[in-house]
Structure 1
Amino acid sequence: MEIIGWIVILLSFVIGFIGLVYPIIPSVLFIFGGFVMYGLFFSFSDLPWWFWAIQILFVILLFGADTIANAFGVKKFGGSRAGLWGSTIGLIVGPFILPIIGILIGPFLGALIAEILFNKSSLKKSFLSGVGSVVGFITSVFTKGIIQVVMIIIFFITI
């Protein structure tokens, strides 16, 4: 049963990292779920209250990180609210239409199309908004990946 427990925990962590590039998967919830699985399979007493407090703060931070990074990237490159919404929709839809490369093309095209349709922006301004959405996404993935690694390191140090 111990081996099954560790397989479930590690699988949760792996799915959490896959969720970094497939935004439809709530990556941080899988990481947190791995901690809960540890408690269920082994013992919650190994994980003190301060561990849970720190992890919950990280979960809140990670939920906000996506939105903040994407908004920052689009705004920094001159995009508008329409570009941000287009980028977000493209980020969700892109990987399903074009697996692997859609994760980058989706937000770019979403921001570009939204800027052209809703703001009647020039092609250059719309293009920059699309570039900003990709920069924001890559920044978000990198930042979230580091935070998730820190969460897991704290978990292993604690147990």
Structure 2
Amino acid sequence: MDILLLLLGLICVVVGVFGSFLPVLPGPSISWVGIVLLYFTTAVPANYWILGISALITIALTILDYIIPSKGTKKFGGSSYGIWGTNIGLIVGIFAPIPLGFLIGPFVGALIGELIYDYKDHQRALKAATGSLLGFLASSFMTFVVCMMYLGLFLWIVWQNKTALF
């Protein structure tokens, strides 16, 4: 049973790393589940500090993952129309059958939202859409770093308990 939990945990952590780039998968949450599965094994003693701190990081990052692209739009002069456009564009981009739709969607959504708000000011709309894209990229990078840390933590815990697991 321990080997099954170890494999499922490793799969979750690796899928979480991929989820840091694909917005349809909640990367940090899936990676955290992988760490929790590792602690369900009988060979690894429960460390509630690691689980608690990583859970708080996961919750904070999940919230920030939705806030940062909108804040990027606002920072670059976008209005609430651009923020709504960013969020709608992100959802549409995920399901659109085009390559890199999750990158193009927030940009186009913010651009359309800003053009609806003020169709005469194309420069401001383009600037807000660029802020949306930069916010999304910053959020993805931050998520990737945390998921890689979770992968390292998972491998470190396995290494520390390798004699008990195998």
The offset of 1:157, in angstroms, is: 3.3
State the aligned residue count.
Answer: 157
Query: 1:5-84 residue pairs with structure 2 within 5 A?
Result: 5-40=5-40, 42-43=41-42, 46-84=45-83
TM-score between the two structures when normalised by the length of structure 2: 0.82
Residue aligned with 1:22, SS: coil
1:87–1:10 Cα change, 3 Å: same
1:102 maps to: 101
Q: Is the 8 A contact 1:12 1:31 kept in 2?
A: yes
Tell me, in whole angstroms, the C-alpha distance in 1 between the residues paired with 2:49 and 2:2: 25
Q: Does 1:120 align with 2:130?
A: no
Give unpaired runs (5+ residues) of structure 2.
159-166
1:13–1:100 Cα change, 3 Å: farther
Tell me, in whole angstroms, the C-alpha distance in 1 between the residues paired with 2:46 and 2:15: 22
1:74–1:23 Cα change, 3 Å: same
Tell me, in whole angstroms, the C-alpha distance in 1 between the residues paired with 2:89 and 2:61: 20
Give unpaired runs (5+ residues) of structure 1.
none
Residue aligned with 1:46, SS: coil
Tell me, in whole angstroms, the C-alpha distance in 1 between the residues paired with 2:107 and 2:34: 33
Q: Is the 8 A contact 1:65 1:144 kept in 2?
A: no
The offset of 1:124, in angstroms, is: 1.5
Q: 1:129 is matched by which residue type in structure 2?
A: A
Q: Is the 8 A contact 1:9 1:37 kept in 2?
A: yes
Q: Is the 8 A contact 2:12 2:31 kept in 1?
A: yes
TM-score between the two structures when normalised by the length of structure 1: 0.86
Q: Which protein shows a greater Rg?
A: 2
